[in-house]
Amino acid sequence: MTEKEIDCEQALKQILEYVDHELEDGNQAAMEHHLHTCQSCFSRMEFERRLKDKVGALREEKVSSNVTNRIKGLLDSF
Ligand SMILES: [Zn+2]
């Protein structure tokens, strides 16, 4: 089994797809490998996953533009 090595730049590009489970198997494995070895990308992934959960929960309720703007601000400041 050959493991693809990816760096942080590649990992960050794929992080949203990873959180959405949209990566192909090979890329998925490479991401998991990277996340196991890289604390900063792992933290970023956790952040995106929590944000996704929050946004998903908000969508089920009535989304006020106020909250949406606050999430956008949060993303910009990260
Ligand atoms: Zn990394």
Task: Look at residue 69 and tell me if it is in a domain.
Answer: yes
**C-alpha angle with apex 29: 56 to 25, nearest 5 degrees?**
75
Looking at the structure of the chain, the number of domains it has is: 1
* Number of other residues whose CB lies within 10 A of the CB of residue 30: 20
Could you tell me the distance, in angstroms and rounded to a whole number, from the CA of residue 14 to the centre of ligand 1?
11
- How does pLDDT run along the chain (78 residues), one tens digit per residue? 456 789 999 999 999 999 999 999 999 999 999 999 999 999 999 999 999 999 888 887 765 667 777 888 888 876
Residue span of the structural domain in which 39 resides: 8-77
Task: Look at residue 60 and tell me if it is in a domain.
Answer: yes
Task: Look at residue 65 and tell me if it is in a domain.
Answer: yes
Task: Look at residue 73 and tell me if it is in a domain.
Answer: yes
Could you tell me the distance, in angstroms and rounded to a whole number, from the CA of residue 6 to the centre of ligand 1?
8
Could you tell me the distance, in angstroms and rounded to a whole number, from the CA of residue 65 to the centre of ligand 1?
33
Task: Look at residue 37 and tell me if it is in a domain.
Answer: yes
Task: Look at residue 50 and tell me if it is in a domain.
Answer: yes
Task: Look at residue 3 and tell me if it is in a domain.
Answer: no
Could you tell me the distance, in angstroms and rounded to a whole number, from the CA of residue 31 to the centre of ligand 1?
9
Output the pTM of the full model. 0.68
Could you tell me the distance, in angstroms and rounded to a whole number, from the CA of residue 12 to the centre of ligand 1?
7
Task: Look at residue 34 and tell me if it is in a domain.
Answer: yes
